[in-house]
Structure 1
Amino acid sequence: MSSTLPRTWTPLGNDLNAARRTWAELEGDPVASDDKTFSVIGRRYMRDVLPTLGLHTQRDYAQYFELLNKVFGEMPIDVIRPFDIAEYLRVRGAASKVRANREKALFSTIFNHARSWGYTDVTNPCIGIKGHKEKSRDRYVSDDEYAAVWACAHPTVQDAMDLALCTGQRPADVLKFNVNDIFDGSLNLTQNKTGKKLRIAIEGELAQVITRIMAKPRDKVNKALLQDPDGRRLNYFALRSRFDKARDLAGINFQFRDLRAKAATDTGDLAHAQKLLGHKNRTTTEIYTRDRLGDLVSPLRRVKKVAQ
């Protein structure tokens, strides 16, 4: 008989990024307690901090860290200089300025955690290093474009689009709406990004949309407002995939997040738009809406009629 011991199975979970990190820890060599390389500290951040963030953020940060680790992985955290960060921005920015900025931001976050964990007490090398200038997004979705994509979309995407347009909320906040968020005649939420609490009156088109959603077959145990046909909560990846497919079929290119700006712009009322979006400053709302559609201005003067 074989003397091989029975295998021990370690569950890796349902999240792919978390599973990869767990697998790496199981297969990797023990880490020396005095190892202060960016790779070691970054892996600790990915293990301890990343799971507390939103799924979308987890996915993006995992990609950013992979690229940062290829460059800084073997370097002790306290020998990385501002010049190194500037050079990373320059080289990486040749391919994608926006991604370079995001990766720099993650490096800065990891470095700050390294300071709080006692790995170093040197100044964050990202301080004083300016990222690439980014152009603010100014895409406005017309009613006809919205209708064209909506007509090609999966019913779950149609519901999500209508909720986003009626409420003006970010995709993550739209997806997290629960049935029990509906009370006292309003749809209640706390925004993921800002922590801002909002109560949106259920009236007009929003009332019609919610009535339509609630009339569909649904899992009564699952409290998610937006559900897949199998009764599970509609997730970001399913929404993104189905929305992209609808865009391709319609031959129209805009992003789901552009519906938030459309909602604000279509109100025609900055005070209303500011409250709906949860902006602290009116100036933010002014820029957000004006850049999408442009200022409405009167002509300089009337054209004089030529005498007959």
Structure 2
Amino acid sequence: MSRPRDKQSQIALGLLPRMEARPRKDGSFSFRYHPVGGKPIALGTDRIKALRQVLDITGQLDETGTLKWVWEKWTDERRPSPRWKKLSDGTKDDYRLAWKQLAKTFGKMLISQIDAPMVARYVHIERADSPRRADIEKTLLSNLFKYGITLGVCKVNATIGVEPHGSESRTVSPKAEVLKRFLDWLAQQTPQRRIIAFAAEYVSLAGNRQVEFLPLTWMQVDRAAGEIRTFRAKQRGKKREQVIEVISISPQLSQLLDRLEAIRSDRECLYVFPTRDRNQYTADGFKTLWQRSVHAAMKAGALKAEDRFTFHDLRAYYVTLHKQQTGKLPDIHKNPATTARVYDRNTEVPRASN
């Protein structure tokens, strides 16, 4: 007589119909599938792989209704979802990267079969070593569930109730002497590393995001009027590409522009921070070159491990210095509270006594 299936384990582990979870001495489970009128099929000890095998066996891998199918509908080039259309290019790239990771676990599964325990296990166990990425992947998964409900292939958002890892904003700003030493070292390297140095110095002086300065052209730089005009990123709805930041050119920024003009051998090159072939850097290309530059600087001793900083920290450097010099935070974000919480890294707050 065959061993009865453990229905309680089946429910608790979110298994598909006719699957069995068999407890092992080490506390894990081995999985089997019971086809109608056939012998049990061993599925191994990996629950996700076991679920995929059962979907294969039962012919449910027609992609309609799978998470992959919802992702492709959500991001369809001809008829994308309204939510996808509103996202910035940087966020879209971030979600594409998140999807590559999600697809390994959930891509072939029917979205209606993915439940909260599966999501919680994925976020807090399978992706425990990458908490920030796990939170981004959970956010993407939530968006896909919402669209799946719209498409009629699932009824609930299984990410609801699953706590994110959460992350605190960085609290340390690069030290002026560390930044100068690093930029001086970059200035002696290859032409493209010099461009990285110029970009880093620009952000420390102007506070733009990468998505705002990578497409910056010389036509946006008005030396006569003493200003640079850029579109503010991360605006939604009617304000998308409507909020223009007008940055006054300080003496330090003017000197930087002089140096950038000096290396502009090709007057037809439009971009202020061009690639080797005089085009605009992609976000991934710039990120790769920055990371390689940082690693090379550390290897050469120009940057110590304890002094290492991210490129985004330079935006905080600008905000922190601006407050020290003017006594107030700059207008770099639509929500001033975000500027104060994320970018202001001053450790001393002066105030007058009565």
Distance 1:289 1:51 in 2: 28
Aligned residue number for residue 49 of structure 2: none
**Structure 2 unaligned residues grouped into runs of 5+:** 1-60, 187-192
1:251 aligns with 2:303: yes
Counterpart secondary structure, 2:270 = coil
Match among 215, 221, 227 for residue 176 of structure 1 = 215
Aligned residue number for residue 78 of structure 1: 112
The sequence identity of aligned pairs, in percent, is: 21
Shift in Å, 1:103? 0.6
Aligned residue number for residue 301 of structure 1: none
RMSD: 2.9
Match among 135, 138, 142 for residue 104 of structure 1 = 138
Distance 2:232 2:343 in 1: 20
Residues 187-226 of structure 1: matches in 2 within 5 Å? 187-194=228-235, 195=240, 196-226=243-273
Please tell me whether the aligned partners of residues 135 and 166 of structure 2 are also in contact (alpha carbons under 8 angstroms).
no
Distance 1:226 1:179, change over 3 A: same
Write the deviation string for residues 65-109 of structure 1: whole angstroms up to 9, x where unpaired. 122222222332233222322222221342221111111011112
Please tell me whether the aligned partners of residues 220 and 228 of structure 2 are also in contact (alpha carbons under 8 angstroms).
yes
Distance 1:285 1:64 in 2: 26
More helix, by proportion: 1
Please tell me whether the aligned partners of residues 145 and 154 of structure 2 are also in contact (alpha carbons under 8 angstroms).
no
Counterpart secondary structure, 2:329 = helix
Please tell me whether the aligned partners of residues 207 and 315 of structure 2 are also in contact (alpha carbons under 8 angstroms).
yes
Shift in Å, 1:230? 3.2
1:119 aligns with 2:166: no
Aligned residue number for residue 340 of structure 2: 286
Shift in Å, 1:56? 4.8
Please tell me whether the aligned partners of residues 159 and 209 of structure 1 are also in contact (alpha carbons under 8 angstroms).
yes
Shift in Å, 1:229? 4.3
Match among 129, 132, 139 for residue 172 of structure 2 = 139
Aligned residue number for residue 198 of structure 2: 159
More displaced 10-residue stretch of structure 1: 227-236 or 92-101: 227-236
**What amino acid is the match of 1:288?**
V
The structure with higher relative contact order (CA 8 Å, sep 6+) is 1
Shift in Å, 1:192? 2.0
How many pairs are equivalent? 263
More displaced 10-residue stretch of structure 1: 118-127 or 47-56: 47-56
Counterpart secondary structure, 2:330 = helix
**What amino acid is the match of 1:259?**
L
Counterpart secondary structure, 1:137 = coil
Distance 1:223 1:119, change over 3 A: farther
Distance 2:69 2:285 in 1: 33
Aligned residue number for residue 150 of structure 1: 183
Aligned residue number for residue 261 of structure 1: 316
Residues 31-42 of structure 1: matches in 2 within 5 Å? 35-42=64-71
Shift in Å, 1:175? 1.0
Distance 1:96 1:62 in 2: 17
Shift in Å, 1:53? 5.9
Please tell me whether the aligned partners of residues 98 and 134 of structure 1 are also in contact (alpha carbons under 8 angstroms).
yes
Counterpart secondary structure, 1:189 = strand
Counterpart secondary structure, 1:199 = strand
Distance 1:239 1:67 in 2: 22
Please tell me whether the aligned partners of residues 270 and 286 of structure 1 are also in contact (alpha carbons under 8 angstroms).
no
